[in-house]
Structure 1
Amino acid sequence: MALKSKLPHVGTTIFTVMTNRAREMGAINLAQGFPDFDSPELLKELLAQKTSAGHNQYAPMIGESSLREQIARKMQANYGRTVNPEAEITITLGATEAIFSAISALVHPGDDVILFDPSYDSYGPAVILAGGRPVHIPLQAPHFRIDWQRVREAVTPKLRMVMINTPHNPTGMILSGDDLNQLAEVLRPTDAFVLSDEVYEHMVYDGARHASVFGHEELYARGVVCFSFGKTMHATGWRVGYAIAPPDITREIRRVHQFNTFSIATPLQLAIAEFLKQQPSHSNELSGFYQRKRDLFLRQLQGSPFRWIPSEGTYFQLLDFSGISSVQDAEFADIVLRSAGVASIPVSPFYQSPPHLDVIRFCFAKKDETLIEAAAKLRQLERVAS
């Protein structure tokens, strides 16, 4: 029997590869984006209560009403915009499923979808599986900004969607309100959708504010915005996310979602809903919490051969190793793993056609002692012969 792959060029993700290697070598894992500290005690207690109370059967396909209502309150408080929890909010299996379901629902064979490289590794395959054509536009290093003229030049009658990610994984940059206005201007003459991955919405630093497609009236009219409780609750293993979109777009997303995952674990949804009710300030405390960790990590790196631009958002920090070696990033990440015992993520796997890159990504969603130990190891790195 001949097997024809739909994704012949896709292998095991770089996250799995580096995490497995870190485990095998007993290295400090600053590669994959998960905390090494636990979720809030109250959240865990609420989960135990909900399971003990018998909330263990199927949830509604669109999500538990109590959770959707709490999300609506949160969005109103954060962005000053009213959202209908019945018609515009869908609970998904993490933000990845929200993104996949939205692409599957809205992108048709032959459609163009603009992606900005480096782009998260699930975007391109989801577009290809929908029959679309990824159109990759590189961000401009070292600050990884969008070249809006290149975007204008990429607009064709086949354009169906533009995907953005802010705060941005893996670079840590954030889009501004002006960026959103420029995107709106570019798309005004088209019928294209905007899919905005905003899972790190509450991790924005140095007094900046998150510019959301949800808060932009013109873009939201053609938008899908995806979020993650895994990120905000320090519980990446729970895999609970949500998509917000206008009612007509939401109906199409739900047509796919119901045959994809159908519904998400009931006690998880109920526990998060109750946590949001009891601790409404939790999300707004995350920027300060993670900025302290970013700053600790960078302070500990003082005196190292690395250079950096402080991350504007997410819980990732790029470090420039050009003062140590001139090899490509994947090779240098391997050197760091073997020589320093610290796992990182190269940025090149996030590109369709990677340029020469001299930055690698580290996750600072870790205990303080983990960051201090990792930085001490990184400070010991010496110049590597090219």
Structure 2
Amino acid sequence: MTQAHKQKISSKASQFTESVIREMTRVALQHNAVNLAQGFPDFPCPPELKQAAYEAIAGDVNQYGITWGDRAFRHALAEKVRWYLGLEIDPERHITVTCGSTEAMAATMLATVDPGDEVIVFEPYYENYGPDAVIASATPRYVSLHPPDWTFDEAELRQAFNNNTKAIIINTPHNPTGKVFSREELTLIAELCQKWDVLVFTDEIYEHILYDGTEHIAMATLPGMEERTVTINSLSKTYSVTGWRVGYILANPELTGAIRRVHDFLTVGAPAPLQRAGVAAMQLPESYYKELAILYQEKRDSLLQILDEVGIPYSIPKGAYYVLADISRFGYKTDVDFVLYLIKEIGVAAVPGSSFFSQPEKASKFIRFCFSKKPETLAVAGDRLLKLQSILQKAT
């Protein structure tokens, strides 16, 4: 009797690929290209964090800590949230420390979403959200953000809500567009979430990287929203430690209890000495955040000037550290083809827009540049990108 062939790969794993963003870093290394693809700084983190990490390791903070977060870090975090967002957070009941915001979103979805539930995702979106929904056996429901200001259509958003809607994901400031959701937009979303009894998962990892006087509004601060909002964040971007993998979740005690159980069996805990260094991060003065925004605005303006010189249109980001550029003038069939040309022939890596859209045809004219780099890095990238001028001249 012949044994039936069994499918070795799960249906979940078959629905998505490895990260395209991280793949672009590997291709960039192969071709010695300037990496404006993956979103990590190429400059040092604050020295206070390094010193705190050294001291924690030297002090033998090297074993398992409390699964859901080092107590000193949670208390320092609650104090920082209090002065920045105005939220009163109980460090014992409202905080879960995770292995980066990536695990935070996955743990949140696994703890709250059941098969058949729908999760609303604004598109374009950070590439992890789709696979997160699949892993949680949820159905993503996409709502378009429309260029150049990346606004959504109120009617489309209202139509997306229904009795199967469990949650909506909001990323503000937004990756990849640089959009910062306005109070008016968030108020409308809050109204719909309360009407349909929907949770909000907010990814606020770029909360301090803001431009042109733009204000970050945390959804949990809006009336009626603190109890139904799960706020996700990380040390990674604000403190330039993307490799430390220390993220955190703020949620009401009921949700926190479920999230902690999932987190416990996903990763046990985030790195103990680096959580202790997170205390130093939370204790940095308010001036640090003001200087950070000024630093990144200079980097943004530097990259935008380069794109202007080359003749590549773009949307002006109001937050985060990315620029979504329009490559339709180059005549390439796909965004992937153009990015591979850019890496291999021009020597600059970017991310194809298809990483951020559910349907590749929507993405074919977009690529994303990251500008969280040293001035010297951006200067080299600029010199190389200027080679594209001749291609555009031939095309016109």
CA offset at residue 280 of structure 1? 5.2
| 2:72 alignment partner AA | S
- Give the count of matched residue pairs: 386
The CA RMSD measured in Å over matched residues stands at 1.7
Which residue does the alignment assign to 2:59? 53
Which residue does the alignment assign to 2:324? 318
Q: After TM superposition, list the pairs within 5 Å mapping 1:158-177 onto structure 2.
A: 158-177=164-183
| 8 Å Cα contact 2:205-2:234 kept in structure 1 | yes
Which residue does the alignment assign to 1:361? 368
Q: After TM superposition, list the pairs within 5 Å mapping 1:203-242 onto structure 2.
A: 203-242=209-248
Secondary structure class of the residue paired with 2:333: coil
Question: 2 CA distance for matches of 1:90 and 1:165?
Answer: 19
Which residue does the alignment assign to 2:203? 197
| 8 Å Cα contact 1:306-1:324 kept in structure 2 | no
Cα–Cα, structure 1 residues 245 and 172, in superposed 2: closer, same or farther, change >3 Å? Answer: same
Which residue does the alignment assign to 1:380? 387
Q: After TM superposition, list the pairs within 5 Å mapping 1:44-193 onto structure 2.
A: 44-193=50-199
CA offset at residue 312 of structure 1? 0.9
CA offset at residue 356 of structure 1? 5.0
| 8 Å Cα contact 2:147-2:315 kept in structure 1 | no
Question: Alpha-carbon deviations, 1:37-75, whole Å to 9, x = none?
Answer: 121222112111111111111111121111111111111
Secondary structure class of the residue paired with 2:15: coil
Question: 1 CA distance for matches of 2:138 and 2:282?
Answer: 37
| 2:372 alignment partner AA | A
Which residue does the alignment assign to 1:308? 314
| 8 Å Cα contact 1:225-1:245 kept in structure 2 | yes
| 8 Å Cα contact 1:305-1:379 kept in structure 2 | no
Which residue does the alignment assign to 2:3? none
| 8 Å Cα contact 1:46-1:275 kept in structure 2 | no
Which residue does the alignment assign to 1:12? 18
Secondary structure class of the residue paired with 1:109: coil
Once structures 1 and 2 are overlaid, which stretch shifts more, 105-114 or 37-46?
Answer: 37-46
Question: 1 CA distance for matches of 2:264 and 2:194?
Answer: 31
Question: 2 CA distance for matches of 1:335 and 1:4?
Answer: 33
Question: 1 CA distance for matches of 2:149 and 2:92?
Answer: 39
Secondary structure class of the residue paired with 2:177: coil
CA offset at residue 326 of structure 1? 5.2
Question: 2 CA distance for matches of 1:116 and 1:311?
Answer: 17
CA offset at residue 188 of structure 1? 2.1
| 8 Å Cα contact 1:301-1:376 kept in structure 2 | no
For residue 43 of structure 1, the aligned residue among 22, 31, 49 is 49
CA offset at residue 385 of structure 1? 5.8
| 8 Å Cα contact 1:81-1:215 kept in structure 2 | yes
Question: 1 CA distance for matches of 2:266 and 2:290?
Answer: 32
Once structures 1 and 2 are overlaid, which stretch shifts more, 249-258 or 93-102?
Answer: 249-258
CA offset at residue 373 of structure 1? 1.1
Secondary structure class of the residue paired with 1:11: coil
CA offset at residue 279 of structure 1? 4.3
CA offset at residue 216 of structure 1? 1.8
For residue 338 of structure 1, the aligned residue among 334, 337, 344 is 344
Question: Alpha-carbon deviations, 1:199-227, whole Å to 9, x = none?
Answer: 11111111111111132232222110100
Q: What is the TM-score with the length of structure 1 in the denominator?
A: 0.95
Name structure 1 gaps, 5 residues minimum.
none
Question: 2 CA distance for matches of 1:299 and 1:39?
Answer: 26
CA offset at residue 321 of structure 1? 2.3
| 2:300 alignment partner AA | R
Question: Alpha-carbon deviations, 1:58-94, whole Å to 9, x = none?
Answer: 1111211111111111111112221111111111100
Which residue does the alignment assign to 1:371? 378
| 8 Å Cα contact 1:50-1:271 kept in structure 2 | yes
Cα–Cα, structure 1 residues 166 and 243, in superposed 2: closer, same or farther, change >3 Å? Answer: same
| 2:9 alignment partner AA | K
| 1:26 alignment partner AA | N
The percent of aligned pairs where both chains have the same amino acid is 37
Question: Alpha-carbon deviations, 1:346-382, whole Å to 9, x = none?
Answer: 1112211131542211110000011011012112202
Question: 1 CA distance for matches of 2:308 and 2:176?
Answer: 22
Question: 1 CA distance for matches of 2:131 and 2:306?
Answer: 38
For residue 33 of structure 1, the aligned residue among 31, 39, 46 is 39
Secondary structure class of the residue paired with 1:35: coil
| 8 Å Cα contact 2:230-2:250 kept in structure 1 | yes
Secondary structure class of the residue paired with 2:237: helix
CA offset at residue 12 of structure 1? 2.0
